[in-house]
Amino acid sequence: MVNPNFGTFNRAGTVADQASFDVGLRAHMVRVYNYMASGLALSGIVAFGLFSSAELASLFFQVQAGRVVGLNMLGWIAIFAPLGLLLLVSFRAAQMSVGAIQAVYWAVTALMGVSLSLLLFRYTGASVARTFFVTAAAFGALSLYGYTTKRDLTAMGKFLFMGVIGLVLAGLVNMIWPSGTMSFIISAAGVLIFSGLIAYDTQKIKEQYSEAWGTDMVEKVAIFGALSLYLDFVNLFQFLMSFLGQSRD
């Protein structure tokens, strides 16, 4: 449940050719969505591979009768490694090459597949597929709003970021003192917060492209934008699963 601020890439000057800028922006957004879709596909392949192979799953999980009852050491590393990689790129974005950032992106999305495989062990395949398509439809509508709206969503973004911090803290408390009511509140808040972040991050990607337009930073902006939207999508999907998922029990 991470959505760090990867910063902006500033440059001096103004947009002189609006037509050229608009064409470039559309191509940039297509590149962002392609990166994001490829990341989701990689996560799905990893998740399904672990779910389908008992040998692979045993590397990360303690599995009994088709159910995950615990994590192995490699499992804990795979669960928390994405956070470390995200912190790395958030602090060293400007110094990293495009190739290095791409490597981090694919590593994060592959490792996230390990976490997502837990959903396949817990919920029926039909409910996972149904929730994925619901998430995809919601994502499409919210991202379109963020792209087309004339409203400045900056203030909402600051509020949503504070909400993410609150979710993390509430989640930690709920791990120590489990509560069904608290779990419901966290899930409901998570759906609302990451729905808002999809619109906010889409608008932010447009702004970052405007600042990086005409420089060699555009590809970095595309990868970071895809990573932000990927994390928004995955978190929204996971929170929706708590409402729409049907347990295998």
Please list, in sequence order, all residues whose beta carbon lies within 8 angstroms of the beta carbon of residue 248, skipping any fewer than 6 positions away: 66, 67, 121, 122, 123, 124
Measured distance CA(71)–CA(225) in Å, rounded: 31
Over residues 2-16, the pLDDT tens digits come to: 454 444 444 444 545
Measured distance CA(88)–CA(109) in Å, rounded: 15
Rg (CA), the chain: 19
Over residues 54-99, the pLDDT tens digits come to: 889 899 998 887 788 888 999 999 999 998 998 888 888 778 888 9
Q: Which residue has the tokens 């779990």?
A: 183
Tokens at residue 137, please? 């439809």
Give the per-residue pLDDT at 99.
92
